[in-house]
Amino acid sequence: MKASVDASTCTGCTLCCDIAADVFQMGDDGLAHAKAEEVPAAAEASAKEAADSCPVGAITVG
């Protein structure tokens, strides 16, 4: 499974980092970024929850 954040949509609310800290981190630009191209198997559920919880729909997992 892969995760990505659309930088043109992300508002930097940090919700994804709070939900899935193993998958997302805030960058120096104030926006969220996926930590790695592949989501660790143990973090798949939290990555999906973060995508579902993103208020602007900036996260894609699959």
Q: How far is CA 7 from CA 32, 41, 45, in A?
A: 8, 24, 22
Would you tell me which CATH number, out of the four given (3.60.20.10, 3.30.70.20, 3.40.50.261, 3.40.720.10), belongs to the domain 3-61? Answer: 3.30.70.20
Domain ranges of the chain: 3-61
Q: What is the pLDDT of residue 60?
A: 97
Per the prediction, the chain carries an average pLDDT of 97
Confidence (pTM): 0.93
pLDDT tens across 15-44, in order? 999 999 999 999 999 999 999 989 999 999
Q: What is the pLDDT of residue 18?
A: 98
Listed in order, strand segments (DSSP E) in the chain are 3-5, 24-26, 32-34, 59-61
Q: What is the pLDDT of residue 37?
A: 81
